[in-house]
Amino acid sequence: MIPRYSMPEMAALFSEEARFATWLEVELLAVEAWASLGVIPNEHAVACRERAPQIDAAFVAAVNERERVTDHDVAAFVDVVQQHIGPPEGNWVHHGLTSSDVVDTALCATLVRAADLLLEAIDGFIAVLARRAREHAHTPMLGRTHGMHAEPTTFGTKLALFCLQAARDRDRLRAARAGIAVGKLSGAVGTYSNIDPAVEAHVCRELGLEPVPATQVIARDRHAEYLYACAAIGTTVETVSLEVRHLQRSEVAEVEEAFGTGQKGSSAMPHKRNPITAERLCGLARVLRGYAVAGLEDVALWHERDISHSSVERIVLPDASLAAYYALRRCARMVDGLVVRSERMLENLLEGSYGLVFSQPVLLALVQAGLTRDDAYRIVQRDSRRAYEERRSFREIVEGDPDVKSALAGSGSDAAVVLASAFDLDRALRHAHRTIDRLDDLEVTPE
C-alpha cells in the first residue's frame, strides 16, 4: 500500500522487520518444543534464544542478499539465522519444518493482530455513528428512492441504519479473525512425517493460535474470509460516503464535510468545498472488493500446495488490512466532523418537494373515503404532476380539487381534518424512533 493510505500502527505489522521477527519467533518456539520433548539438548534451545539475531534493517539486508543466491526467501532466512547463532546450536533451527510451517503460521499470527486493529477501529466507527444518529434522531429530511423525493425520514434514522450495518461488519470481522487464528507445523504435506504434533501444539499455544489440519499450507478459504470481511467494511464505508457525496451536492446542500482552516477545495475555483474524503473512500472500496476476488481465486491450489497464492497474498493481505483500517479511521473522522444543515433539510423537505412527499397519505385517505385504489391513485397522481409542473403547493392543489372534496364529503369526513393529518410531518415520523431504538441493543464502546 502506498504511504498515502498507510497508517503507521497497521503498516508496522507488515514491515519486513515484523515479518522476519514473527518467522524467527516461530522457529525459536519450535526449537524449544523439540527440547521439551528431549529430542535436542535444552541448553541448545537456550543458546538459540539467547543468540538469536536482532531483526533490524541490517538483518533484512542480509537475508535479501542471501536470497539472491538461494532464490528462496525462507531458505535464505534460515541460513542467516543459523549463521548468526552458530553451530552446533543453530543447526536445530527449522528442524523438521517446511517453509509453509513457518510462513503460514506467522502470517496467521500477523493477520490476527491486524484484525485486532481493525476491530478497534470499527468499534470507534460504530460509536461515532451511534452518537450522531441519536443527535439527529429528530432531524427531519427527505427520504429519496431512485434519487427522487420519496417520503420524510430523519437524518438520525439514516445514520442508525449505517451503524447497524457496521455492526454486522464487526460480526463478520470477528468470525474472520477466529477463522484465521490458526497455525500448522505438520510438515511437507501435513502428515507430521518428520515432526511431532506436540511441536505444533506448543508453537500455536504460545502464539495464541489453534492447530488445524492442513496440507502443506493452511486452507486459503480462511484468508478469503478475512479479505471478504475487509471488503464488506469497505462497502459499508462506501455506503456512508456515497450518501455524503449526494447530500453535499450544491443542489441539495444538506450536509458538508468539515473544511479546515487554510484548506483549498480547488486549485482553480476558490468557492469549491468538495467531498474529497467521501470520494476517496468510495475509490478505496473498489480496491478492497478486488482483493476479495483475488482471495477467492487463491483457495484452489494444485494437490497439497503450489505457490500461485503466494505472490497474490504478499500484495492483497497487507494492502487490504491497510486500506480497510484507513477507511474506517477516515470515515469515522468524516462522520464525527460532518456539518449537518438541518434547516436546509427541512426546506428541501417541505418547500423543495412542494409537499409531494405526502402523496401516499392523501391516496390512503381517499381510499378510506370509499374510492377504488386506482381512482384515488389517478387523482393524486394528477394533482402531484400539477404541483411539480406549476411549482405550486401540492396541499393547495389537493384542497382545491373538487374530486377530493367530493370523495371526502361523501364519506362524511371533515376534509380539513383529514388533509391536515395527511400533511402532518409529526404523524409521518411518529415511528422513526424505532430504528434509533435498535442502537440500544448494540455493543458500543465509549468514545
Is 426 within 8 Å of 137 (Cβ atoms)? Answer: no
Measured CA to CA, the distance from residue 210 to residue 198 in angstroms comes to 13
Q: 141: helix, coil or strand?
A: strand
Instruction: Give the angle 200-206-211 at the CA atoms, nearest 5°.
Output: 35
| Distance set, CA 238 to CA 232, 234, 424, 428 (Å) | 10, 6, 34, 29
Separation between Cα atoms, residue 76 and residue 291, nearest integer Å: 29
| The one catalytic residue among 146, 271, 303, 431 | 146
100 is catalytic: no
* Gap between the Cα atoms of 380 and 182, Å rounded: 62
Helix spans in 298-432 (H): 308-337, 342-347, 359-368, 373-390, 394-399, 402-410, 415-422, 425-428
Active-site residue (options: 266, 308, 406, 421)? 266
For 400, what's the count of Cα atoms within 13 Å in the CB-facing half-sphere? 10
How many CA atoms lie within 13 Å of 64's alpha carbon, on the beta-carbon side? 9
267 is catalytic: no
Q: Which grid cell is 408? A: 371526502
Contact in structure between 198 and 37 (CB atoms under 8 Å): yes
Q: Which residues are catalytic?
A: 146, 266
